Amino acid sequence: MHIRLGLIAALVISPAVAAMDMGDMLELHFGADVEAGKRFGDSATPSEFNLGIIDTMIHGRLSRDFSALAEIVYEDAGGGFGFDVERLMLSYEPRAWFRLSVGRFHTPLGYWNTAFHHARWMYASTRAPLLAHFEDDQGPLPTHTIGVLVHGAVPAGGVRLEYDVAVGNGRGPTADPPQQFADNNGHKSVCAALHVGIGGLRAGVSGLIDTATLASGENMSEKLAVADVHLILGEVEAIAEGALIHHETSGVGATNLGGYVQLAYGLSEDLHLYGRAERFVRAATETYLDTPTASNVLGGIRYELVPTAALKVEGGWDRRSGVDAMTVRGQLSWLF
Amino acid sequence: MAVLGSGARILLAAAILVSLSTRAEPVIVVHPSCPVSRLSPDEARRLLLGADLSWSNGDAAQLVEIRGDDAVVAAGYQAIARKTPSQVRSEWNRLVFAGRANPPLRFGTAAEVRAAVGRLPGAFAVIDSSASNPSVKIVFRAPGAD
């Protein structure tokens, strides 16, 4: 009994003891944004000021190998603020080539969804491309997974290999919300990704398979494939992603295609120009996603007021569900 | 020079020596087990900005910093990455937020920073060369940082 109690005490105390030589144990980050915009040609959308999202992230180092992360976002929920636990992870990383995380995390699909998270300061642009929108904002990909994630980076000479494998609850009866507290079927989503990095170039592929049980009781099979390239060459940063999203329910298939290219150029340390072109084609037989067929071209300028706050001004054209509009938008965003 | 007496010459030489010895020389130090013995300027920049997050032996690269402002660290960051400490921290915030890296470890003094690097495999820091000792390994000297 004493041995058992001692073991429990050691397990409880050891992370704290181990953390004593690890500097600050806790980091708190805070991000937010405010916007003003006008959409010309769409009479249903007046000019507006709006509060964007308020993002808080807590990172705790429990010991040299264990860490915990929680990201909580407050955002518009029908006129008031609602909050979402966007990420909640406990990670064990004994080596750079093996990190095991359990909880809610960003599904390792493509580039944007794992490089940028909810704080819009992280984007060059004011908004994410439609392909990388979250589930509650017409996003076509299951951007969050509740389950287990294994990630690793293996340097091999001048090449860097990165892999991800995730298993989780997968999609529920509707695309949003992700199934956080239970799974309505025994099928688990399986996602895998492989990336290669050489210098400033990183490219890879990722895929996901899942079976969702719909409200009707029917099963929908989902197969996703994403290819992505990220390049930093001097002052130029380029991101390109393409995705194929296939759903099949009762023998009826729907194949949706989406992709974008984004370029950014640093005129100076503080000033960047950026542009993006995007296209998403929704299958005529698609019934699960609420992502519309859309095209979008935008360009803008980003100025770093300080290293932790940015002013972005952009304009562009888009066509969503057949409605054309020109948009001008300014955004102040910060993350510290 | 001929007008100076021998005592004045000795004083001048001593002043020059003191000046040289106290001139800040930022260096990147790593844990002794680190497989790298020397970094190129580009490798040093990528390491400091979190573009390379692991060493070839599988250890995660862990930045260790002095808490608050430090003139030597600022000079080192500028020389290595052409960025201020705020800008470097901003880059690490981005990585931490993305879940790709652990936050930099922060300590109150340069001695604590050096001790942490000497204690933790994978750790690295920018410190003044005069603060280095055999518990850590110098792998990069910032050019023209003074």
Mutate one of A22, A93, A195, A308 to test the B interface: name it (highest B CB count within 10 A): A22
Q: Mean pLDDT lowest for which of A15-19, B11-15, B44-48, B62-66?
A: A15-19
Q: Mean pLDDT lowest for which of A100-109, A306-315, B21-30, B102-111?
A: B21-30
C-beta separation of A138 from A290 below 8 A: yes
Query: Using CB atoms, which residue from B59, B82, B90 is nearest to A307?
Result: B90
Q: Could you count the other beta carbons within 10 Å of the beta carbon of residue B5?
A: 8
Q: What is the pLDDT of residue A87?
A: 95
- Dump the DSSP string for A288-315: S--PPPEEEEEEEEEEEEETTEEEEEEE
- Dump the DSSP string for A168-205: E----SSSSS---S--SSS--EEEEEEEEEETTEEEEE
Mean pLDDT for all residues in chain A: 90
Which residues in chain A touch residue B45, judged by CB atoms under 8 angstroms apart?
A: none
Question: Across residues B18-40, what is the average pLDDT?
Answer: 82
**A125 touching B (Cβ < 8 Å):** no
Which residues in chain A touch residue B67, judged by CB atoms under 8 angstroms apart?
A: 24
- Reading the block at residue A157, the tokens are 């000479």
CA angle A235, A239, A243 (to 5 degrees): 175
Distance from CA of B124 to the nearest CA of A (A): 13
Amino acid occupying residue A52:
G
Q: What is the pLDDT of residue A188?
A: 95
How confident is residue A13, by pLDDT bands cut at 50, 70 and 90? very low
pTM of the model: 0.85
Amino acid occupying residue A126:
T
C-beta separation of B57 from B6 below 8 A: no
How confident is residue A10, by pLDDT bands cut at 50, 70 and 90? very low
Nearest to A257 by CA among A221, A219, A229, A286: A286
- As for the ipTM of the complex, it is 0.79
Alpha-carbon gap, residue A196 to A38, rounded angstroms: 41
C-beta separation of A211 from A221 below 8 A: yes
* Model pLDDT for residues A241-258, shown as the tens digit of each residue: 999 999 999 999 999 999
Q: How many residue pairs from chains A and B have C-beta atoms closer than 8 A?
A: 88
Cβ contact, residue pair A122, B59, below 8 Å = no
Of residues B128 and A47, which shows the higher confidence score?
B128
Q: What is the pLDDT of residue B8?
A: 59
Q: What is the pLDDT of residue B100?
A: 84
Q: What is the pLDDT of residue A79?
A: 78
Q: What is the pLDDT of residue B76?
A: 96
φ/ψ of residue B98, rounded to 5: -75, -5
* Model pLDDT for residues A75-116, shown as the tens digit of each residue: 888 878 888 999 999 999 999 999 999 999 999 999 999 998
Cβ contact, residue pair A122, B94, below 8 Å = yes
The H-or-E segment that residue B145 falls in is none
Of residues A1 and A169, which shows the higher confidence score?
A169
- Reading the block at residue A82, the tokens are 């609602």
Q: Which residues of A148-177 are buried (b: 16+ CB within 10 A; e: fewer)?
A: ebebbbbbeeeebebbbebebbbbbeebbe
Question: Across residues B35-46, what is the average pLDDT?
Answer: 94
Place of tokens 């800008």: B87
Q: What is the pLDDT of residue A172?
A: 92
Query: Using CB atoms, which residue from B60, B99, B103 is nearest to A96?
Result: B60
Percent share of chain A, pLDDT over 70: 93
Indicate if the pLDDT at residue B91 is higher than 50. yes
C-beta separation of A182 from A190 below 8 A: no
* Model pLDDT for residues A265-301, shown as the tens digit of each residue: 999 989 999 999 999 999 999 999 999 999 999 999 9
- Reading the block at residue A168, the tokens are 């989780």
Q: Which residues of A308-331 are buried (b: 16+ CB within 10 A; e: fewer)?
A: bbbebebbbebebeeeebebebbb
Nearest to A29 by CA among A90, A107, A119, A101: A119
Place of tokens 């050019």: B143
Going across the sheet that includes B105-107, the strands are: B105-107, B62-66, B123-128, B26-30, B137-141
Contacts of B91 (CB under 8 A, 6+ apart): B49, B50, B83
Distance from CA of B23 to the nearest CA of A (A): 28
Strands A236-249 and A252-266: what pairing? antiparallel
Strands (DSSP E) contained in B31-143 are: 62-66, 105-107, 123-128, 137-141
3-state secondary structure of B143: coil
Amino acid occupying residue A88:
L
Q: What is the pLDDT of residue B146?
A: 47
Residue of B nearest to A25 (CA): B105
